[in-house]
């Protein structure tokens, strides 16, 4: 059985002197050396710490880029080109930052789908999950504003389209909000300036929410592939060195893929139109957001004009909705629904391994998200619109119909008695395995 | 970690050195090299960029400077004094005993050979970086017919050497050379 010890350096006299005044070392010891982690975590559990590392990479490269970037409409594009051509290693730092955004979303989306598959959002981890959704929203806002900074054609028109979403707010508030966001009558220099300010600020807000996310995590510890609570020392191992080493290995694999893109396909996930300086008098023929926004973009466009507008005037006579409001509400609703997921899914079983039906619906949902992503990249016409609408309806049906019904009708498989039981046999102190004393605590 | 694994690990090594010690050392060394390799671009990006370096040398036409007068030009963001010295000023500078100087340096080493009338200096006081007076007409030249720094009262002579005041060193002579009789290239 694995022993949980305080590390030897905690006995160092200088460490003890500091620790007596600021218990930072016993905090580290408690959260790393003595922190019990389920022994059965698989590689899908690497993506949380990986996301944290990518956040650090983004902040470090971002600070370096901000030393050379100029947030002014007449200088921004050229300052980015100067970073690429003249600044020492500027090309490297910018490509890390640019691709880092995409990889951040790859890692975080995998992290989210891991949570969905293994039921990590269920009690007692609801707040942990909701903080995660807050991080996702902040990441989206940060990524969007970062994409505006190079002041290329996609930057400008992306900013125009996304800020105009807010004009859908009814009762005349929308136009007021949009003017407020722009600081003028169109996306222009004041907009660029404030986006730069906020793009620098928000990552540190993300860090703050990440701290709370980890705090909440460490209260009840990680969920695990089996999805049952840990029952004692035979179910857990210390985070360090077991998972620090595993996370480091995962990081190495991740960095290989990351480096492949940075050095061999740095613009693969970008859009060539953004290397054309912004022109407020000419919109590119086909504007598309960055890939990580595509599913939401598809939902935005899928809602037909006057879909809610037509109804609401009948149902709620005094409210006159703008037609485009419905699409905007649907897009934000696609994320909002994640907030209430812990209460939509009343099934007591967390892991899909013991939910034979949910497992299938999980994969259908995953495919649905990919379909939405594809549709978001294609022009909104013909059959694509129909597919987008079906996929959008399914997206919401998954959360609002499928999941609540499964909780009622699904026959789940029998859960193992403990995490160690399938490995050690018996209730944790099996015959053939280590003669560990079963330490049933709860 | 130390006890249980340490005792297990000693079994596959002798004399207290274990395979684990080797792995930890190798991993640590590798991480150190990797960390340094990552840190390098992030430190180096703060150094002057290629376009900044491209502007690092200038050419100046000195034919328009009358004897006894000086001009200021901007080079790498700093002022450079170019002084067309009179015979009296040259003699004064050459006549000083080196032992009288806080930063001993003969005048002949501060000008180009055969071009003693041209004195080229970085116009930044070696004390705390102010710009000494004495280049433009009407400015005080200090007690030694050179320059006077108004910030903390350093006096430089007609060779730009420190004579009195808190500055520790002579005014710096930049890297320059004569492209022709009338044009110098600084940097």
pLDDT tens string A197-214 = 999 999 999 999 999 999
Residue-number span of the structural domain to which A253 is assigned:
39-434
Closest residue in chain A to residue B45, using alpha carbons only: A88
CA distances from residue A299 to A191, A296, A375, B144, B153 in whole angstroms, order as listed: 26, 5, 9, 80, 72
Residue A192, both tokens: 């660029």
Active site members of B: 152
Residue A440 lies in a domain: no
Residues B1/A241, Cβ–Cβ less than 8 Å = yes
Does the pLDDT value for residue A23 go beyond 60?
Answer: yes
Residue A12 lies in a domain: no
Residue A5 lies in a domain: no
Query: Measured between CA atoms, how close is A155 to chain B, in angstroms?
Result: 25
Does the pLDDT value for residue A217 go beyond 90?
Answer: yes
Residue B160, both tokens: 């730009």
- Beta pairing partners, B81: B72, B121
CA distances from residue B175 to B1, B75, B80, B110 in whole angstroms, order as listed: 60, 11, 11, 11
Residue position matching structure tokens 């910030």 = B151
Residues A111/A48, Cβ–Cβ less than 8 Å = yes
Confidence of residue B15 (pLDDT cuts 50, 70, 90): low
Does the pLDDT value for residue A436 go beyond 50?
Answer: no
Q: Which listed residue (A68, A72, A218, A417) is catalytic?
A: A218
Residues A376/A293, Cβ–Cβ less than 8 Å = yes
Beta strand ranges found along B19-153 (DSSP E): 58-61, 70-75, 78-84, 118-122, 145-149
In tens, the pLDDT along A91-150 reads 999 999 999 999 999 999 999 999 999 999 999 999 999 999 999 999 999 999 999 999
Does the pLDDT value for residue A429 go beyond 70?
Answer: no
Does the pLDDT value for residue A305 go beyond 90?
Answer: no
Region A386-407 average pLDDT: 96
Contact yes or no for A7 and B42 at CB 8 A: no
Residues from chain B that touch A53, judged by Cβ atoms under 8 A, are: none
Question: What local confidence, expressed as pLDDT, does residue A169 receive?
Answer: 80
Contact yes or no for B45 and A241 at CB 8 A: no
Does the pLDDT value for residue B91 go beyond 60?
Answer: yes
Question: What local confidence, expressed as pLDDT, does residue A393 receive?
Answer: 95
In tens, the pLDDT along A178-190 reads 999 999 999 999 9
Does the pLDDT value for residue B6 go beyond 60?
Answer: no
The structural domain count of chain A equals 1
What is the Cα–Cα distance from A68 to B47, expressed in whole angstroms?
Answer: 11
Mutual angle of helices A173-182 and A153-165, in 10-degree steps: 150
Confidence of residue B14 (pLDDT cuts 50, 70, 90): low
Residues from chain B that touch A3, judged by Cβ atoms under 8 A, are: 3-4
* pTM, two decimal places: 0.84
Contact yes or no for B41 and A7 at CB 8 A: no
What is the Cα–Cα distance from A306 to A318, expressed in whole angstroms?
Answer: 16
Confidence of residue A382 (pLDDT cuts 50, 70, 90): confident
Question: What local confidence, expressed as pLDDT, does residue B17 receive?
Answer: 81
Contact yes or no for A68 and B44 at CB 8 A: no
What is the Cα–Cα distance from A147 to A161, expressed in whole angstroms?
Answer: 13
Residue A355 lies in a domain: yes
Region A257-269 average pLDDT: 96
Contact yes or no for B1 and A33 at CB 8 A: yes
Residue A93 lies in a domain: yes
Q: What share of chain A in percent tops pLDDT 90?
A: 75
Q: Sheet holding B70-75: strands in order across?
A: B70-75, B78-84, B118-122
Q: What is the CA radius of gyration of chain A?
A: 25
For position A346, which CATH number holds?
1.20.810.10
ipTM greater than 0.85, yes or no? no
Region A258-274 average pLDDT: 95
Closest residue in chain A to residue B41, using alpha carbons only: A89
In tens, the pLDDT along B108-122 reads 899 998 888 999 999
Please indicate whether residue A175 is annotated as part of the active site.
no
Confidence of residue A405 (pLDDT cuts 50, 70, 90): very high
Residue A121 lies in a domain: yes
Residues from chain B that touch A68, judged by Cβ atoms under 8 A, are: 45, 49
What is the Cα–Cα distance from A110 to A115, expressed in whole angstroms?
Answer: 9
- How many residues appear in chain A? 442
> β-pairing, B162-164 with B154-157?
antiparallel
Question: What local confidence, expressed as pLDDT, does residue A3 receive?
Answer: 65
In tens, the pLDDT along B38-79 reads 999 999 999 999 988 887 889 999 999 999 899 999 998 899
Q: Which of A5, A64, A88 sits opposite B49 (nearest CB)?
A: A88
What is the Cα–Cα distance from B51 to A54, expressed in whole angstroms?
Answer: 31
Residue A34 lies in a domain: no
**Nearest Cα to A290, choosing from A104, A113, A74, A134?**
A104
């Amino acid at each position: 059985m694995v022993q949980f010890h305080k590390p030897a350096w905690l006995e160092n006299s200088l460490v003890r002197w500091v620790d007596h005044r600021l218990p930072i070392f016993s905090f580290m010891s408690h959260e790393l050396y003595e922190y019990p982690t389920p022994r059965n975590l698989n590689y899908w559990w690497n993506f949380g710490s990986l996301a944290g590392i990518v956040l650090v990479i983004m902040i470090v490269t971002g600070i370096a880029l901000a030393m050379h970037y100029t947030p002014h409409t007449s200088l921004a594009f050229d300052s980015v080109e100067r970073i690429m051509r003249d600044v020492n290693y500027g090309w490297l730092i910018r490509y890390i930052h640019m691709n880092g955004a995409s990889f951040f979303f790859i890692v975080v989306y995998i992290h989210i789908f891991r949570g969905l598959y293994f039921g990590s959002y269920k009690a007692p981890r609801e707040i942990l999950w909701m903080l995660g959704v807050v991080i996702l929203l902040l990441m989206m806002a940060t990524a969007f504003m970062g994409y505006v900074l190079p002041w290329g054609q996609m930057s400008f028109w992306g900013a125009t389209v996304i800020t105009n979403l807010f004009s859908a707010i009814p009762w005349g508030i929308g136009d007021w909000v949009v003017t407020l966001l722009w600081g003028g009558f169109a996306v222009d220099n004041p907009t660029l300036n404030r986006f730069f300010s906020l793009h620098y600020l928000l990552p540190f807000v993300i860090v703050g929410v990440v701290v709370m996310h980890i705090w909440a995590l460490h209260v009840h510890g990680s969920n695990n592939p089996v999805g049952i609570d840990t029952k004692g020392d035979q179910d857990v191992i210390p985070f360090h060195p077991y998972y620090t080493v595993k996370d480091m290995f995962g990081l190495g694999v991740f960095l290989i893929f990351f480096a492949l893109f940075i050095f061999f396909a740095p613009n693969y996930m970008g859009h060539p139109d953004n290397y054309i300086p912004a022109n407020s008098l000419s919109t590119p023929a086909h504007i598309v957001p960055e890939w990580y926004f595509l599913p939401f973009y598809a939902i935005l466009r899928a809602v037909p004009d006057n879909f809610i507008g037509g109804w609401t005037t009948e149902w709620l006579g005094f409210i006159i909705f703008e037609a485009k409001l419905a699409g905007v509400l649907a897009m934000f609703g696609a994320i909002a629904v994640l907030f209430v997921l812990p209460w939509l899914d009343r099934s007591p079983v967390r892991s899909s391994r013991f939910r034979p039906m949910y497992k299938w619906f999980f994969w259908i949902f995953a495919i649905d998200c990919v379909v939405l992503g594809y549709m978001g990249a294609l022009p909104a016409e013909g059959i694509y619109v129909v597919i987008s609408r079906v996929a959008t309806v399914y997206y919401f049906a998954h959360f609002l119909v499928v999941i609540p019904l499964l909780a009622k009708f699904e026959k789940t498989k029998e859960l193992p008695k403990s995490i160690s039981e399938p490995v050690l046999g018996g209730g944790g102190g099996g015959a053939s395995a280590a003669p560990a004393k079963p330490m049933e605590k709860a | 970690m130390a006890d249980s694994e340490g005792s297990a690990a000693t079994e596959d090594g002798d004399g207290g050195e274990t395979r684990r010690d080797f792995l930890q050392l190798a991993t640590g060394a590798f991480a150190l090299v990797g960390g340094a390799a990552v840190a390098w671009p992030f430190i180096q990006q703060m150094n002057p960029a290629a376009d900044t370096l491209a502007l690092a040398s200038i050419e100046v036409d000195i034919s328009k400077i009358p004897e006894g007068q000086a001009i200021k030009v901007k080079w790498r963001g700093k002022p450079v004094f170019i002084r067309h010295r009179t015979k009296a000023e040259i003699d004064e500078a050459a006549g000083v005993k080196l032992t009288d100087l806080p930063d001993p340096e003969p005048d002949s080493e501060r000008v180009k050979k055969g071009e003693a009338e041209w004195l080229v200096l970085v116009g930044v006081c070696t004390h705390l970086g102010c710009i000494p007076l004495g280049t433009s007409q009407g400015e005080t030249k200090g007690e030694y017919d050179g320059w006077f720094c108004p910030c903390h009262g350093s006096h430089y002579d007609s060779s730009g050497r420190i004579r009195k005041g808190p500055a520790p060193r002579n005014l710096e002579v930049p890297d320059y050379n004569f492209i022709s009789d009338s044009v110098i290239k600084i940097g």
